[in-house]
Chain A
Amino acid sequence: MAEVLVYVDHVDGAVRKPTLELLTLARRVGDPVAVHLGAGADGAAATLAEYGAVKVLAADAPEFADYLVVPKVDALQAAYEAVSPAAVLVPSSAEGKEIAARLALRIGSGIITDAVDLEAGDSGPVATQSVFAAAFTTKSRVTKGTPVITVKPNSAAPEAAPAAGTVEQLSVTFGEKSTGTKVVSRTPRESTGRPELTEAAIVVSGGRGVNGAENFSVIEDLADSLGAAVGASRAAVDAGWYPHTHQVGQTGKSVSPQLYIAAGISGAIQHRAGMQTSKTIVAVNKDEEAPIFDLVDYGVVGDLFEVLPKLTEEVKARKG
């Protein structure tokens, strides 16, 4: 079977869940060859192998951290030339999309971004996308070159399928342009101890109705009782009540959890764009006319300050 390159998203060798999803989807199209850039390849290899990587191409160099995006494109291109894959799959993070786009242009290939599903087709992989704030579903193909496709988190349930996962060193020559944008400093984000927003099975989000940074504890308490991630609408973020990294929607994160709970959020189109594909949607809003109620599986018309604390208690009681 042909090989498929899978770009690994990791933090110092701790492989992030979207990569496991990508390996699972890649197996529908070919044998996954993982590309691991930066430190920690040996540690990551075991996980990558468990999810089907036949090979792990690894490269580490200071350039990856010291300069923006382009050194990684150089490396992915080296992997592409070494393997001649049937497709290249990259996680749909902001950086992933930039890397994928530049690679596609260099190798003369079309690119599809933000796929939510992938199947093998008669003429190459077929990508499903969710467009216009998830009002439409499309199926697309790359018609020129080796398909380069970025895939959104939560697009597949990771399935283990052990393979060899042999680590091979990838030799990379950095181009003259690779050092164009210097990363002068980097401040890692502090962990909240809660699940990653884009990876979480349950997300509890608060909007303008939360009415103050100090009140977000109502959202956090419910999230913690459910083991959920915390999200926020742009109105709440713009008001400075919650960090932008938690924003759900068109210009924030796009989430697709099993359960999405929106509290004090009206459901504007730009917010819906980021959560409409959630499996089950629940809303608490005191305005029964709020558009969010058009989407819900279960809605409570009421004051979130009444409903949420009681719900948190109920959840805790039932979980024992």
Chain B
Amino acid sequence: MSLRIVVCVKYVPDATGDRHFADDLTVDREDVDGLLSELDEYAVEQALQIAGNADDAEVTVLTVGPEDAKDALRKALSMGADKAVHVEDDDLHGTDAIGTSLVLAKAVEKTGYDLVVCGMASTDGTMGVLPALLSERLGVPQVTLLSEVSVEDGKVTGRRDGDAATEQLQAALPAVVSVTDQSGEARYPSFKGIMAAKKKPVQSLDLDDLDIDADEVGLEGSWTKVDEAAERPARTAGTIVKDEGEGAKQLAEFLAGQKFI
């Protein structure tokens, strides 16, 4: 039987660009260049490797996001995923993590899955909670923050490098995993991959398709609210000296002045 893998990927504003908030205090996703979250490339990579080691597997990439989010799906398809699902609906604008987890869970269930693979965190929201929320909603084990992962005999195993310890984890499928940026470099799409991706199916779903009411998601349905967003004042220009033999002494002087020594 085929191993059905769904990879959750997010389309995010480019971190090296000028990220900012829109007037309604949501992340501005229109005025800024976006891309497939770099941390989700690791998820695509591990999914492709797991699929490659299975007798028969199918990798679906899934995103919840605006029109442009298709770019993220195309990138993942050109890396080698088989098909894509795009959940897109005007009522989704401003959805928070809890709402996003509802949409992802419904879409994952509709697609059908044995394994869900996520990145460790999105590079814009950086919450790192969606994999746990998905696991809670789907009622399947979470095997998260893995720097090594493999699937065999209906079980997923992996290594989680925590602050206090390194843990070896194991769970039966179906399960939700997330992988870190230590899990191994993501492949670059080949020319052939890019050409092939153009012909791969991208299914579009809206809230109706997923039986989700508009008031369960979006800015209104959000269970949190941003009241204020202010640009952090630029740090005032500091003192910069060129080391001509005295650099260390000058720095020590500064540190002593600040009572660090």
Contacts and interface: CB of A to CB of B under 8 A. Distances in A.
Interface in B9-29: 15-16, 19-21, 25
Nearest to B156: A181
Interface string A266-278: 0001100100000
Contact of B243 (A111, A183, A280, A307): A307
A159 interface: no
Interface stretch (B64-72, B85-93, B134-142, B193-201): B134-142
Q: Is the interface of A mostly helix, strand, loop or mixed?
A: mixed
A140 B166 CA distance: 34
A113 B142 CA distance: 19
A130 interface: yes
A8 to B, nearest CB: 14
Of the four ranges (under 10, 10 to 19, 20 to 34, 35 or more), the interface on chain B belongs to: 35 or more
B261 interface: yes
A194 interface: no
Interface in A171-211: 177, 180-189, 202
A102 B143 CA distance: 14
A259 B166 contact: no
A299 B139 CA distance: 52
Contacts of A105: 98, 101, 133, 136-137
A295 interface: yes
Contacts of A102: 132-133, 135-136
B133 A288 contact: no
A1 interface: no
A143 B223 contact: yes
Contacts of A142: 223-224
Interface residues of A, number: 88
Contacts of A297: 235, 238-239, 254
B225 to A, nearest CB: 5
Given A187-B165, A251-B39, A295-B235, A258 B133 contact: no
Contacts of B248: 300, 306-311, 313-314
A69 interface: yes
Interface string A131-144: 11111111111111
B163 interface: yes
Residue from A105, A106, A126, A281 whose CB has the most chain B CB atoms within 10 Å: A105
Contacts of B132: 69, 97-98, 101-102
B16 A269 contact: yes
Interface string A240-262: 00001100001100000011000
A296 to B, nearest CB: 4
A134 B234 CA distance: 11
B230 A136 contact: yes
B51 to A, nearest CB: 22
A218 interface: no
A318 B228 CA distance: 45
Contacts of B260: 202, 226, 258-259, 280
Contacts, number: 252
Interface string B139-173: 11111110100000000010011111111111110
Contacts of B180: 251
Residue from A187, A295, A300, A319 whose CB has the most chain B CB atoms within 10 Å: A300
A189 B166 contact: yes
A145 interface: yes
A136 B20 contact: yes
A109 interface: yes
A246 B56 CA distance: 39
Contacts of B101: 105
A144 B220 CA distance: 11
Given A73-B136, A113-B129, 13 more contacts: A98-B131, A98-B132, A110-B98, A113-B127, A143-B223, A181-B170, A182-B171, A183-B169, A185-B167, A297-B238, A297-B254, A300-B243, A314-B249
10 contacts: A93-B163, A97-B128, A102-B136, A113-B129, A140-B227, A180-B141, A189-B165, A250-B126, A293-B238, A309-B248
Interface of A: 11, 68-70, 73, 93-95, 97-98, 100-102, 104-106, 109-114, 126, 130-145, 177, 180-189, 202, 226, 244-245, 250-251, 258-259, 269-270, 273, 280-282, 284, 288, 293-303, 306-311, 313-315, 318-319
Interface of B: 15-16, 19-21, 25, 39, 96-98, 101, 120-121, 123-124, 126-129, 131-133, 135-137, 139-145, 147, 157, 160-172, 175, 180-182, 222-232, 235, 238-243, 247-252, 254-256, 258, 260-261
